[in-house]
Chain A
Amino acid sequence: MVKPLPKEYYTRLEEIQAADFVALELVLYLNTHPTDRQAIEQHNQFARHSRQLKQAFEVQFGPLQHGSPNPSQTVWTWGESPWPWQV
């Protein structure tokens, strides 16, 4: 069974969701405004910020994506619960 997650899991996940959301909104905007330099700069800034948040999150709660390092030497954690619909 899934063990209860600390409150921190939800707050830190939501920080990632917010950073990714801003980046995505800028991606869609830039697809129709490809020469807006300010938006390109802001997009890059949020993409970097998101990567940092995810690295810190993954150390504590396991990988969000293939390609992220497995936090344990002995147990493969990618396939472990919780999956996003289970939290």
Chain B
Amino acid sequence: MNSQMQIFSHVKSYVPPRSPFDPCPPIGTKYYSTPPNLYLGFQPPGLPQFSPADALRKGTLWKVLYDYYDNPYRKGAGKTHG
């Protein structure tokens, strides 16, 4: 489905089917999130953590659960973010 390079991303995409009678110009690609909680299973003990200040800023203590979100339709958005 996602035929870009096989770099793992939690952001998935698809191209909606197009009719010649659709009134709006095509949006192109539609995006959706598949956040890390869908992949982790029962969290194993001892996983890496953020520092307290970073944990608060990011919204989770657990690095494995962190999932930055930005508007994927804005130009230049949807790229990875530190």
Q: Do chains A and B touch in the complex (CB under 8 A)?
A: yes
A17 touches which one: B46, B56, B62 (CB < 8 A)?
B56
Q: Which residue of A lies closest to B59 (CB)?
A: A21
Instruction: Among A14, A33, A36, point to the contact of B56 (Cβ < 8 A).
Output: A14
Contact A18 B52 (CB under 8 A): yes
Label chain A's interface by main secondary structure.
Answer: helix
In the assembled complex, how far is the CB of residue B52 from the closest CB belonging to chain A, in whole angstroms?
4
A interface size (C-beta, 8 A):
15
**B43–A29 CB distance below 8 A:** yes
Residues of A within 8 A of B62 (CB): 25, 29
Residues of A within 8 A of B53 (CB): 14, 18
Interfacial residues, chain B to chain A (CB-CB below 8 A): 42-43, 45-46, 52-53, 55-56, 60-62
